Structure 1
Amino acid sequence: MDSSTISFKASNGLFVGREEPTNLILATKPGVDSFCKFTVQVVAPGKITLLADNGLYLSRISGLFPHSSNDCILATKKTVDEFCVFSYQYAPASPSLVLQADNGLYVSVGSNQDVDNALIPGKKDIDPSCYFQLIGSIPSSNVRDGTFKLPPNTRFGVTGLVNSATPQEIAVFIGDNPKPYTLTGKPGTQDGQMGTVILESDSTGVVRLTVTANGKQSKVMSRQVDLNQTIYFGLLGSEDGTDNDYNDCLAILNWPLG
């Protein structure tokens, strides 16, 4: 599974990091240091684990605070269990996201008698304290199936190339809209331009591409990558026959634009 290194800036304006020696995850850092860097890995669509700098996984822990019923998050698990898996969704304040713990509650920055600015998985509903600015990018949560995750309401481009004796059509689906935008290309034995279309993601940020050749949907492979965590690409190759070279039709997404 793909992984990447990310950091978070909390709603209090401070960065999230591991505290020594408690291994508590707190939003107390004025800048990003080694304690603020987490290795993120997608374990299922929309679900991630986070590995701290001490080599231990972040986990929801109950009963740590004697004066509070709140759970907390610690970097404490050597292996992943259900308490280490967090659901995530991108927030409207891009590039922010919201994390949800295994108990179904949202993670926010909070305080009690024992500790200030702790990450607490205790909110039933999302409020501004649940927003975390993402520094870096989460690897694509799809199984290389042509689905890409963009920030909400972001302008992006799609460019198509055809390299097949069979006419190709790229369909670009945005969110749950069943009507796609399309790019078509004439047959060719070398890469030919199918053109570029400029679109905008919706509030979900989900963009899905399919490729059709002679009325039959092609097999696809895809990957989402970034350059310097500022420029992002979605790359897709399709296979309309049996040679499995996946170069019959190529699509390149790029964002953000403007």
Structure 2
Amino acid sequence: MGFLNITIALQADNGLYLGRVTQGGVNYIQAEKSAIDVFSRYTVIQLSSNTIALRADSELYLSRINQIDGDFIEAEKPSIDVFSIFTVEDVGLNVVALRADNEKYLSRVCLDGINYIKPEKDDIDDCCLFKVTTLIG
């Protein structure tokens, strides 16, 4: 699946879209949007044939950030760095798995009833699969 600096939405295995949610000043990415809105749109910056960066509506790049409870994916970085580059694995039918710089797959992880996106799976399972919807404009 090729990406040419397009805008996408990503739908998790729970049927909800990944969105930017601000909690305590942190822009977490969570699988919690029932419909695509401004907070669930990401601009794809293709860096190589299988690596991308994702820019949120806030103009900040999604990145692996270490918090007290482990690594989270957050819209945090004003520019692309090693922590904001993801390897894309096309699993077919507009579904992808994304691997962070720590070699772990992004996954939907429910903590205290919140579906965070965390880079913590060694192997792909259903929670690591994201359906890609290409958006116009």
Which residue of 2 is the match for residue 7 of structure 1? Answer: 9
Deviating above 2 A after TM superposition, structure 1's stretches of 4 or more consecutive aligned residues are none
Higher relative contact order (CA 8 A, sep 6+): 2
Aligned to 2:56: 52
Match of 2:76 in 1: 76
Aligned residues: 131
User: For the residues of structure 1 that align with 2:106 and 2:5, how far apart are their CA atoms?
Assistant: 22
**What does residue 26 of structure 1 align with?**
30
Paired AA for residue 35 in structure 2: G
Match of 2:45 among 41, 48, 52: 41
1-structure distance, mates of 2:43, 2:106: 18
TM-score (ref. length: structure 1)? 0.49
Aligned residue runs from structure 1 range 1-258, under 5 A: 2-20=4-22, 21-62=25-66, 64=67, 66=68, 68=69, 70-92=70-92, 94-113=93-112, 116-136=114-134
Identity of aligned residues (%): 36
Long gaps (5+) in structure 1: 138-227, 229-258
User: Quick one: distance in 1 between partners of 2:63 and 2:19?
Assistant: 14
2: CA distance, partners of 1:111 / 1:32: 21
Q: Distance in 2 between matches of 1:116 and 1:123?
A: 18
Report the TM-score, using the length of structure 2 for normalisation.
0.90
Query: Structure 2: any 5+ residue segments left out of the alignment?
Result: none
1:50 and 1:124 mapped to 2: Cα distance?
A: 21
Judging by fraction of residues, say which structure has more strand: 2
Structure 2 match to 1:195 = none
Residues of 2 paired with 1:45 and 1:102: CA distance? 16
Larger radius of gyration: 1
